[in-house]
Amino acid sequence: MTHPTDITAGTPHRLGAHFDGAGVNFAVFSENASAMHLCLFSPDGSREIAQIPLPERCGNVWHGYLPGVTPGTPYGYRAYGSFDPEKGHRFNPHKLLADPYTRETIGAWSDNPATLGYLPSSAKTDLSFSELDSAPHVAKSVVSDPALFDAIRAIEPGQPARDVIYEAHVRGLTQTHPDIPEGLRGTYEGLATAPMLDHLTNLGVKSVELLPVHGFLDDSFLLKRGLTNYWGYNTIGFFAAEPRYFGPQGLIGFRQMVDRFHAAGIEVILDVVYNHTAEGDQNGPTLSFRGLDNASYYRLLSGQPRYYVNDTGCGNTLNVAHPFVLRMVLDSLRFWAGEMGIDGFRFDLATTLGREAHGFDPWGGFFDALRQDPLLASKRMIAEPWDIGPGGYQLGGFPPEFCEWNDSYRDTVRRYWRGDAHSAQELGARLLGSADKFDHTGRRSTASVNFIASHDGFTTADTTRYNHRHNEANTENNQDGHHSNYSDNCGVEGETDDPAIRAKRARRQRNMLATLFLSQGTPMLLAGDEFSNSQGGNNNAYCQDNETGWLNWDRADAETQTFTAAISAFRRAHPVLRQTRFLHAEARPSDGKPDVQWTDFSGGPLHWRDPGMSNFCLTLRGSATAPAYEAGDDAVFIAFNRMDMALPVRLPPIAKGQHWLRGIDTDLSVQGAFCELETGEALIAADSVVAFAVRQDILRQDGETAL
């Protein structure tokens, strides 16, 4: 090895590798290392050409400046220190370590025993010490060109149209789309092609939420089974875009994707995994964090630091309570928001991030840091409000700046349309933004992210086709995935040619989609649900990077897609469906009318104690506590009929010169019919949802009244 002598002290203030036009400053955190060596590689990353001790340590940051190094240079670190797993230390200089701050990588990660810090054949297992060099088997960090990260045009924070979220997988959304050029399918660039933008804008999508795009690994146990980590919840690089989704322009293509979405008025939200890393438990590989400072980066069991706290179910838990780990997470968020133009983040297993020594704390260090950050405070923050640790289920418990995935909403909607007892009462709360969960500490009704299906579980179509999960292809004996899906196959398990069952399933889907778009809160639509996409009953397609996990565009149901676009347009047209204030049947100062009113089909009060209650109506008006501009004089009347027979419904009285317009009907045969006040009644088809909107008489030039 050569050891250049011209390295200088550099600076510790900016972690990572940063080119200044003449050389590169390298800085990396390790509290417990005794020495840190910078390793440089040939341009293709295949040969280690220099190993250079970083000359300075300032506090817990090792650093040095090396002139003459240019962007594109592959590098890594070898950390020296104690190998004493029973005390929490796993330093091993034979393992090449990725820079946690690298923005690009070269080469591939391989499932090779050399990546393990121990000898798997040893009886001492993870207490043994491996001298195998891992460098040939791991990706290398790369010095980035700062010109790649010029400022990108962002959507202004606080813009009023934040509403419909579309959850999608980069590859799965476009891999089989017939109108996207073949070379762009499955790539970042393919996401923002004209066919996809047209599709999303037609659906009224305001935010695309992408499954993880941070650099991630395929789990060893999946590779042994011939599978891969399709979803990507196995992060190894919090600053690097996953290269498997690169198109012809690489990282530039990612930035172009963001710009094109913004130009179309669509936000980009990233699903981020700061709760654990791809290094797994004590039997996992040493790739970066473990080798740099295991005892700092991870939460270890008290009294048994050989083992990891596993609140995530993924083998380890990132120690966000450590100041430098917290700094890394915040720096990562700032990078994606400030230099990649990202508009928001959905935090996987977010309870983990808020867990302090005394338990989950919505006012803990992570949340405090987000609040005070001038860049991040304006970004959209969404929590997955649970993990498997103590006190892990925290729906409604996050700070007011957060929205939260509302699984209670998902389960209630499925149970109601399946016909479960008591489900109508529960649905009432969910339709109004789940005030029982969120109406505190100044939170808004938009805090509830409502969804019927997400990447994790049955698609909406599959909730009408399968009573049981069918995950055999995951090679886990069909034991993985959700046990409680609240699904109903409508009479036959799986596909069928029976026209009556197919019609029932299609209507059930329309009913659930209508419920979603007519609810207060923030609706989230799973990609493909708009056209009845199926995963063949697989409710845990995390390892299915194939036709099971990809959207089946060739089998898209045009009728469902047209309906989804229509109900989304209806939502956009009526601000009473998109209110930020909770509705509590309070009288409005302007006219004395309640902002929400529950009635039965005859116009009388509901019998809330009836466990078999199946039908109900609600009238929505502008919140009694909101300024008039939020909803104005808009009003919507919604009738839910779960019975297997058509029923008449009495329409609420409205002002002279106004009429009720049947705007949405999941019984498509009567879509758009008018019902006037004078008649007082409308017919609601069996097993359907109907939404009426107020329409004012308009005087034509000839003096006649027109609608």
Indicate which residues carry an active-site annotation: 348, 384
Judge whether 39 and 96 are in contact, CB under 8 Å.
yes
Q: Is the Cα dihedral 356, 359, 363, 367 positive or negative?
A: positive
Residue 43: name the closest of 21, 19, 72, 2 by CA: 72
- What is the DSSP annotation of 82-104? -EEGGGTEE--TTS-B--TT-SE
Judge whether 175 and 135 are in contact, CB under 8 Å.
no
Measured distance CA(247)–CA(254) in Å, rounded: 9
Alpha helix locations (H) across 602-682? Answer: 628-631
Residue 427: name the closest of 644, 642, 643 by CA: 642
Measured distance CA(292)–CA(54) in Å, rounded: 14
Half-sphere exposure of 306 (CA within 13 A, CB side): 10
> Angle 633-637-639 (CA atoms, 0-180°, nearest 5)?
175
Q: CA separation (Å) from 368 to 229, 303, 355, 385, 441?
A: 33, 29, 13, 17, 15
Residue 480: name the closest of 307, 167, 239, 231 by CA: 231
Which amino acid makes up residue 584? H
Judge whether 95 and 291 are in contact, CB under 8 Å.
yes
Measured distance CA(388)–CA(367) in Å, rounded: 20
Measured distance CA(678)–CA(661) in Å, rounded: 13
190-195: long-range contacts at Cβ-Cβ below 8 A with a sequence spacing of 24 or more?
190/247, 191/257, 191/261, 192/256, 192/257, 192/258, 192/260, 192/261, 192/264
DSSP label at 265?
T
Phi, then psi, of 493 in degrees rounded to 5: -80, 115
Measured distance CA(93)–CA(138) in Å, rounded: 14
Judge whether 464 and 509 are in contact, CB under 8 Å.
yes
Alpha helix locations (H) across 302-360? Answer: 323-334
Judge whether 598 and 591 are in contact, CB under 8 Å.
no
Helix (H) or strand (E) holding 127: none
Q: CA separation (Å) from 47 to 24, 39, 140?
A: 20, 10, 11
Pairing of strands 522-526, 596-599: unpaired
Measured distance CA(276)–CA(312) in Å, rounded: 7
A 10 A CB-CB count for 573 gives 12
- What is the DSSP annotation of 431-443? HBT-HHHH-STT-
Judge whether 617 and 600 are in contact, CB under 8 Å.
yes
* Helix (H/G/I), strand (E/B), else coil: 241: strand
Alpha helix locations (H) across 208-283? Answer: 220-224, 251-263
Alpha helix locations (H) across 204-298? Answer: 220-224, 251-263, 289-297
